[in-house]
């Protein structure tokens, strides 16, 4: 079962933090179809947030087709995100964990690593589009 952690200083709406953490757990294989999410009452007890906030997050996840509410039983995972390569214990996960350890040993803080990783992701996913644009210019 997933445990939600709410960062009141993040600037991200509380319900979105729940949605994002659920999506991350689905991508990492920590939640799988059939798993039950904590009840709104359990989340409220653990995080001291408003029950309507939890319900709003669960409705958003349901709208996305990721979970389904079963009256009297709870909210259950319907679909997963990501693939085997993103699951904990996969070779890519292990390589990234090694990189993070090395980055920390060199003195990078969490925010520095996140910024560096985001920059590399942006470059990686922007590159194919830029190449297509350049190829289109050359063919014109």
Tell me the pTM. Answer: 0.68
| Helix intervals (H) in 1-109 | 14-27, 40-47, 51-63, 91-105
**Angle 110-139/91-105 helices, nearest 10 degrees?**
120
Instruction: Provide φ and ψ at 75, rounded to 5°.
Output: -115, 130
Q: What is the pLDDT of residues 13-66, one digit of tens each?
A: 999 999 999 999 998 888 999 999 999 999 999 999 999 999 999 999 999 999
């Amino acid at each position: 079962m997933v445990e939600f952690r709410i960062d009141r200083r993040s600037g991200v709406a509380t319900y979105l933090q729940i949605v994002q953490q659920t999506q991350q757990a689905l991508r990492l294989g920590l939640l799988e179809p059939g798993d039950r999410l904590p009840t709104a009452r359990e989340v409220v007890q653990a995080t001291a947030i408003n029950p309507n906030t939890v319900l709003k997050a669960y409705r958003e996840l349901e709208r996305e087709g990721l979970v389904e509410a079963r009256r009297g039983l709870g909210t259950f995972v319907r679909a997963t995100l990501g693939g085997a390569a993103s699951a904990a214990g996969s070779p890519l996960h292990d390589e990234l964990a090694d990189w993070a350890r090395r980055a920390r040993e060199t003195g990078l803080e969490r925010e520095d690593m996140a910024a560096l990783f985001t920059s590399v992701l942006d470059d990686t996913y922007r590159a194919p589009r830029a190449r297509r644009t350049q190829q289109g210019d050359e063919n014109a």
